[in-house]
Structure 1
């Protein structure tokens, strides 16, 4: 399993980013040291990302706890496929999320994706394999590679918080589209995942009122 970057590596990447793009200087100056958002990988990691979507952090944690307990601590494709949708829903899953849990499990057991060897694929190839699974969108695939695989040059351009942080950094009036955000992130290669973490950290600090957003930006 790939290892996420260390704090020293993240710090070095941040310095490299502001050298590549001075527009990130405010985000860098106002975002304290952060750790990589590392999460378990494999089938369990992807299924949990699906479970966590569109619910609060507290609700997601409670539902996941019930999923793990209901599967006797073994969140594997085989264990999930042994439960029909009705039983999965008793753990707190919606019918759609139960279905997606099965879809991901089938993709693994049928050989359409091999979580044990996913790290051997390029970012583009891995994303293509993941989004081919029903229920796995591009944002989910990209963030899975970042959080669960520790990949350091992935950028989820469809993330609204990242789009808004890009607008702040550039002093724009309109939030960039997904396509524009991806294009904007090109300059941050090969540190786009660190750039995403930096922008998320900045966005969160501003929204919580911990830092003041300068306007105009300097």
Structure 2
């Protein structure tokens, strides 16, 4: 996902827990230092961002998102009504693939017809949020987990299918190959109920060349 503007600090309680729960992760936390969580408070736009960002570099996704964002006002991104009414060719001209045009329009349609019940989503448990969001074409578990982390601010999300997280775990724990999702899930049991913070620190560790 492209990085939103607002940022929230990692709670001190999460850091204290993780420092005591896992010596490897504790070393990463000490090396990385304090970090903040980028946050997109608008769930609709967070999901558009997540769809656009799939399989793209951060820079490429940011360019396309800026073009899409310009369809709204300076203060508010374009609402579902605007994107669903936009001609497909116009959205393609902004850089969206044909598939992503269909994904964004399906999201807009399901947002407007209450299939997603967006007003309820912030009140639902994590797995129920995921079950709601994967009803949209082009949104899988990973995309829903990104919304849980970077929009809804859920503290205990572990996106085991994320390639960057897999590589970070491999480097941190000296594994001979990239770990499978069940290996990461098992390791993550030590990080509950703060697996989001653990994931963020592991992601950030890659910027430093590993632990």
- TM-score (normalised: structure 1): 0.85
Aligned residues: 204
- Summarize the alignment of residues 115-134 of structure 1 with structure 2, pairs less than 5 Å apart: 115-134=118-137
Q: Distance between the aligned counterparts of 1:205 and 1:23, measured in 2? A: 15
Q: Distance between the aligned counterparts of 2:7 and 2:93, measured in 1? A: 38
- Summarize the alignment of residues 40-119 of structure 1 with structure 2, pairs less than 5 Å apart: 40-72=41-73, 74-119=77-122
Q: Distance between the aligned counterparts of 1:174 and 1:76, measured in 2? A: 43
Structure 2 unmatched ranges of 5 or more = 1-5
Tell me if 1:155 matches 2:158: yes
Mean CA deviation greater in 150-159 or 160-169: 160-169
Deviation at 1:188, TM superposition (A): 0.8
Q: Distance between the aligned counterparts of 1:123 and 1:19, measured in 2? A: 25
- After superposition, give the CA deviation of every residue in 1:99-150 in whole Å (9 maximum; x if it has no partner): 1001111111222212222111100100111112110011111011100111
- After superposition, give the CA deviation of every residue in 1:26-74 in whole Å (9 maximum; x if it has no partner): 2112112111121233211101111122223222222112112234554
Mean CA deviation greater in 53-62 or 138-147: 53-62
- TM-score (normalised: structure 2): 0.88
Tell me if 1:13 matches 2:14: yes
Q: Cα RMSD over matched residues?
A: 2.0
Give the aligned partner of residue 205 of structure 2: 202
Q: Distance between the aligned counterparts of 1:5 and 1:77, measured in 2? A: 25
Structure 1 unmatched ranges of 5 or more = 208-212, 214-218
Secondary structure of the equivalent of 1:116? Answer: coil
Q: Distance between the aligned counterparts of 1:19 and 1:103, measured in 2? A: 44
